[in-house]
Structure 1
Amino acid sequence: MTALAALLKRCTVIYAPAGNAGEYSELATNPYTGCGHECLYCYVPLAMHMKRDAFNAGAFKRRDFLARLQDDAERFRAAGVTAQIFLTFSSDPYHLDDTQATRWALEILRDHGLGFCTLTKGGLRALADIDLFRPEHDAFACTLTSLSDTFSRKWERRAALPAERIAALRAFHSRGIFTWVSLEPTLDVESSLAIIEATHPFVDLYKVGRANYLQEITRTTDWAAYTQRVIAKLQRLGKAHYIKRDLQTYLPTGYHNPLRVQQHHGPRAAA
Structure 2
Amino acid sequence: MTAVPGCTYIYAPKGQAGEYAPLATNPYRGCGHGCAYCYVPLVTKQDRPGFDAGAVERKDFRKHLVRDAEKYEAAGIHEQVMLSFTTDPFHPGDTSLTSVTLDILKGYGLGFCTLTKGGTRALRDIHRFRPDRDAFASTLTTLDDAFSLKWERNAALPGDRLKALKTFHDRGIFTWVSLEPTLDIEASLAVVDATHEFVDLYKVGRANYLKEITRTTDWNGYTLRMIEKLQALGKKHYIKLDLQPYLPAGYHNPLRVEQFHRGAPSYALSQRNNSEGPR
State TM-score, norm by structure 1: 0.96
Structure 2: give runs of 5+ residues left out of the alignment: 265-279
1:70-122 alpha-carbon deviations (Å, 9 max, x no partner): 11111111222211000011100000111011000000011111100000000
Q: Pairwise CA RMSD of aligned residues?
A: 1.1
Equivalent residue number for residue 237 of structure 1: 233
Q: CA deviation at 1:267?
A: 4.2
Equivalent residue number for residue 56 of structure 1: 52
C-alpha distance in structure 2 between counterparts of 1:213 and 1:87, whole Å: 22
Confirm or deny that 1:196 pairs with 2:192. yes
Equivalent residue number for residue 71 of structure 1: 67
User: 112, 119, 140: which one pairs with 1:123?
Assistant: 119
Equivalent residue number for residue 18 of structure 1: 14
Which residue type is aligned with residue 173 of structure 1? H
Of structures 1 and 2, the one with the larger relative CO (CA 8 A, separation 6+) is 2
C-alpha distance in structure 1 between counterparts of 2:240 and 2:84, whole Å: 18
Question: Mean alpha-carbon deviation: is it higher for 76-85 or for 23-32?
Answer: 76-85
1:14-65 alpha-carbon deviations (Å, 9 max, x no partner): 0000010000001000101101000000010111101211110110110111
> Where do 1:98-117 residues align within 5 Å?
98-117=94-113
Q: CA deviation at 1:10?
A: 2.3
Question: Mean alpha-carbon deviation: is it higher for 215-224 or for 257-266?
Answer: 215-224
Confirm or deny that 1:181 pairs with 2:177. yes
- Residues 31 and 53 of structure 2 are in contact (CA less than 8 Å); yes or no, is this contact kept in structure 1? yes
C-alpha distance in structure 2 between counterparts of 1:12 and 1:250, whole Å: 35
Which residue type is aligned with residue 23 of structure 1? E
Displacement over 3 Å in runs of 4+: none
Percentage of identical aligned residues: 64
> Where do 1:163-174 residues align within 5 Å?
163-174=159-170
Which residue type is aligned with residue 109 of structure 1? L
Confirm or deny that 1:149 pairs with 2:145. yes
Which residue type is aligned with residue 37 of structure 2? Y
Q: What is the number of residues matched between the two proteins?
A: 264
Structure 1: give runs of 5+ residues left out of the alignment: none
- Residues 136 and 173 of structure 2 are in contact (CA less than 8 Å); yes or no, is this contact kept in structure 1? yes
User: 211, 215, 233: which one pairs with 2:211?
Assistant: 215
C-alpha distance in structure 1 between counterparts of 2:262 and 2:72, whole Å: 20
State TM-score, norm by structure 2: 0.93
Which residue type is aligned with residue 201 of structure 2? L
Question: Mean alpha-carbon deviation: is it higher for 77-86 or for 107-116?
Answer: 77-86
- Residues 131 and 173 of structure 2 are in contact (CA less than 8 Å); yes or no, is this contact kept in structure 1? yes
